Copies of this chain bind each other. A is one copy, B any other.
């Protein structure tokens, strides 16, 4: 799947290690073999460490059930500062009586092996909910993890945060900021239990930009709303969602301390990164074979457009039809119709599109004749666009989803076994 390009922003290699001064590593400490029942031969713990203290910002899940690591991370970055990340997969360390203590312990073990303070660490976990996290494999593996940190360890790190993900999701960009070249990169895990509501997944971003903690948080909060919060795989909002970003200032750009043109540039680069990560995540939705991109224009507000776009990408019936490559546009209109927003259904127009072109399927709220053959050709592609106009108004939004397949059921019918 191609990345979406932006003017004046260049894609580079390196993921979370692309920005100057960030080391990473990932190893298999053996969580899969110590009580948890997901058994994949893959890295299961990762660490990211910056050469110097960073400003930090994060956005968390809105689920009332919050993973214990989130509580610890919140405490650790309350001062807007952090320097490192410790994260495991396989076990979510959530809904356990000793979750908080275990999350604290992870940061202490990491601090010991790196010479940093426990409070320098952001901590995260992802995997099965409600199984006690065995700390022994983590304790035993921590020295190897810390000793192996390198400036090109991003690929080992991203592997360690994958659960049902079938592909590594990392990205990095370079752009000019305050007279210097600045790098921003990140990695994301997320395939199931993905629904627009705050952060949706684990995402770790690093940059060498110099930007105040307040503006870093503002940029992150703004961009999450229109990227990860508009991606859905299955309508389930995870308990452990978190997006965090570390900004080291190593690029020595003129510090971004006000909402001026430089802040806009940074935010735009962050959007480029996170929008592409959101697309990768939806494309790699559990069992998915296609990315569905739904654009809504002509709404009375962006909010209305967003509500309609999300309603479409969340419809199980529509998603199953996409898997079947069936141009059953009635299901699109049905999902538009039950979206909780105000508009005139009789003005709605719908096109379906892909690299093979577009075809009008509905105008003024009613079907129009179209070539089933052309529609079939369009729907045979990997990236499908659903283009909806609500008729008038300047509001617009894009949301990302995927098709619903046999494999989604298979993956989730026996996730624990």
Give the B-binding residues of A (Cβ under 8 A).
Answer: 62-65, 92, 94-97, 128-131, 192-193, 195, 197, 234-239, 314-317, 320-321, 323-324, 326, 328-331, 333-339, 343, 345, 362, 365-367, 404-406, 408-417
B321 near A413: Cβ-Cβ < 8 Å: yes
C-alpha gap A345/B66 in the complex (Å): 10
Which residue from B95, B317, B345 sits with its C-beta under 8 Å from A236?
B317
Given the known interface contacts A95-B365, A131-B367, the answer about A63 and B338 at a Cβ–Cβ threshold of 8 Å is yes
A336: chain B residues at CB < 8 Å are: 64-65
A193 near B130: Cβ-Cβ < 8 Å: no
A285 to chain B, nearest CB (A): 11
Given the known interface contacts A330-B129, A415-B328, the answer about A345 and B64 at a Cβ–Cβ threshold of 8 Å is yes
Q: 15 new A-B pairs (CB below 8 Å) besides A128-B330, A408-B409?
A: A62-B338, A63-B334, A64-B336, A64-B339, A97-B366, A234-B317, A235-B235, A235-B315, A236-B331, A236-B338, A237-B337, A324-B417, A328-B415, A328-B416, A406-B406
CB nearest neighbor in B for A238: B334
A413: chain B residues at CB < 8 Å are: 320-321, 323-324, 326
A321 near B412: Cβ-Cβ < 8 Å: yes
A347 to chain B, nearest CB (A): 11
C-alpha gap A94/B335 in the complex (Å): 14
Given the known interface contacts A334-B239, A335-B236, the answer about A412 and B317 at a Cβ–Cβ threshold of 8 Å is yes
A412: chain B residues at CB < 8 Å are: 316-317, 320-321, 324, 404
A235: chain B residues at CB < 8 Å are: 235, 314-316
C-alpha gap A320/B406 in the complex (Å): 11
A330 near B362: Cβ-Cβ < 8 Å: no
B63 near A95: Cβ-Cβ < 8 Å: no
A219 to chain B, nearest CB (A): 26
CB nearest neighbor in B for A128: B330
A236: chain B residues at CB < 8 Å are: 315-317, 331, 334-335, 338
C-alpha gap A238/B329 in the complex (Å): 14
C-alpha gap A330/B412 in the complex (Å): 13
B337 near A239: Cβ-Cβ < 8 Å: yes
A253 to chain B, nearest CB (A): 39
A416: chain B residues at CB < 8 Å are: 326, 328
A75 to chain B, nearest CB (A): 19
A195: chain B residues at CB < 8 Å are: 338
A407 to chain B, nearest CB (A): 9
B337 near A414: Cβ-Cβ < 8 Å: no
A104 to chain B, nearest CB (A): 17
A96 near B367: Cβ-Cβ < 8 Å: yes
A62: chain B residues at CB < 8 Å are: 338
CB nearest neighbor in B for A327: B416
A339: chain B residues at CB < 8 Å are: 64
C-alpha gap A333/B63 in the complex (Å): 10
A287 to chain B, nearest CB (A): 9
B366 near A64: Cβ-Cβ < 8 Å: no
A343 to chain B, nearest CB (A): 8
B366 near A96: Cβ-Cβ < 8 Å: yes
A405 near B409: Cβ-Cβ < 8 Å: yes
Given the known interface contacts A317-B192, A409-B323, the answer about A330 and B95 at a Cβ–Cβ threshold of 8 Å is yes
A391 to chain B, nearest CB (A): 13
C-alpha gap A316/B92 in the complex (Å): 19
A329: chain B residues at CB < 8 Å are: 130
